[in-house]
Amino acid sequence: MPAASQLDVAGDLLALLGETTTEPRPDNQLEALTLAVAADLPVLLWGEPGIGKTAALTQLAASLDLPLTTVIASVHEPSDFSGLPVVGDDPAQQGVPMAPPDWAVRLVRAGRGLLFLDELSTAPPAVQAALLRLVLERRVGALQLPPGVRIVAAANPRSSAADGWELSPPLANRFVHLQWTHDHEVVVRGLGGTWPRATLPRLDAQALPAAVDFARRAVCGFLTTRPPLVHRLPSGETRRGGAWPSPRSWDMTLRLIAFATAAGSSREVLSMLVRGTVGDGPALELLAALDRMELPDPEVLLADPATADLPERGDQRQAVLEGIVSAVCRRPEKARWDAAWAIMVRALETGAPDLVVVPATSLAALRREEWDVPAEIERLAGAVSLSRRADEAAERSAGRTAVPAGARR
């Protein structure tokens, strides 16, 4: 058979191998990526070579029906992003305009698209400096990219990048940093021909004002109590090339909280996004503050204990019960004390009994001589005494198994 025919057969085989389908599948990192893209924020995917960053961006562009424009940052000159000077007829009167590259012109003509800046960590400092205006202002030379263009970049850690550089702090602070890892099941199913489908988040139109209000209260309230975190430039070069807190990154955080709230995203997705803007430490503090914001007001619960809706999560439930005890302590009244006992019983009936022990004990200590003991205490007595007996048994067991210091000599 002629060689050309064999190549045709090989082409058919390659076409069959390239035929894949997609399916809806929960994927936190893919949801975080699409949420940041919907929020019109530049995203930087960090991951080891071969992890699937480029494939994920290609599939994302296809799913969102956006034309994909790939630019390898490290093989371009700074003038490719800042614009090439073109001398006109009368430069003394008209100046020298900065002509944009062809890929930027194609994006403007299309009016929309996904600009993929690949191998960002291999771009030298001069190129990184030229990218600053592109990433933040969406300008290439004298050309303004249209609002329909989204920017996503990918980078390998310096240790695994070809002639890698650390990202400069100004460039790093303009991105939402997402750590891209592989999921074994996704890879196996994808190699079998079915990959997860990326879709833009469904935003609840009715929840938009409330989402914005919640995001503003969360970020502003947190920074009011933690002023040092408004701007904190890390000391190490590597950490400066990642996510760290600044007024710019807090603005991105506020936007992402609003989008995640309106989309009803999970706490895991929100955690990935917040950690990707301000770093792990500030993000964990902010997420803890968000948990406290979502807790019900103790005064509202005390006003109507029969319909008290307590959180499902154990740590949040215990925080609510302790808040109720604190509220009664601030304004000790018989009616409020009785209402608090009714809530304790409700917590006992709808959750783990051990969560009630400490707040119930503290509430009992607030009793005044003229206050009658409510009937609810009898229902709690069994759980409290059982928990105490279990604690005492555990202490005795630990004491019996402990080896005295003299016996070890």
Location of structure tokens 């994927």: 27
CB 242 within 8 A of CB 155: no
Residue 355: per-residue pLDDT: 84
Domain ranges within the chain, ordered by starting residue: 23-85+98-196, 205-293, 298-397
* CATH code given to domain 23-85+98-196: 3.40.50.300
Residue 409: per-residue pLDDT: 42
State how far the alpha carbon of 33 is from the alpha carbons of 38, 68, 200, 298, 388, in Å: 9, 16, 9, 37, 48
Amino acid identity of 65? D
Residue 396: per-residue pLDDT: 57
pLDDT of 284 strictly over 90: yes
| Residue-wise pLDDT tens digits, 227-249 | 999 999 998 878 888 999 999 99
pTM for the complete prediction?
0.75
Averaged pLDDT score across all residues of the chain: 84
Q: Residues 348-357: what's their mean pLDDT? A: 82
Non-local CB neighbours of 336 within 8 Å, separated by 6+ positions: 302, 327, 328
Residue 219: per-residue pLDDT: 95
pLDDT of 7 strictly over 60: yes
Nearest-angstrom CA–CA distance, 264 and 201: 9
The alpha helices in 19-168, defined as continuous H runs, are: 28-38, 53-63, 79-82, 91-94, 102-110, 125-137
Non-local CB neighbours of 20 within 8 Å, separated by 6+ positions: 190, 193, 194, 195
DSSP letter assigned to residue 407: G
Residue 114: per-residue pLDDT: 94
Nearest-angstrom CA–CA distance, 311 and 325: 16
CB 154 within 8 A of CB 42: no
pLDDT of 76 strictly over 90: no
Least confident interval from 171-175, 230-234, 295-299: 295-299
**Nearest partner of 230 among 215, 250, 255, 214, judged by Cα:** 250
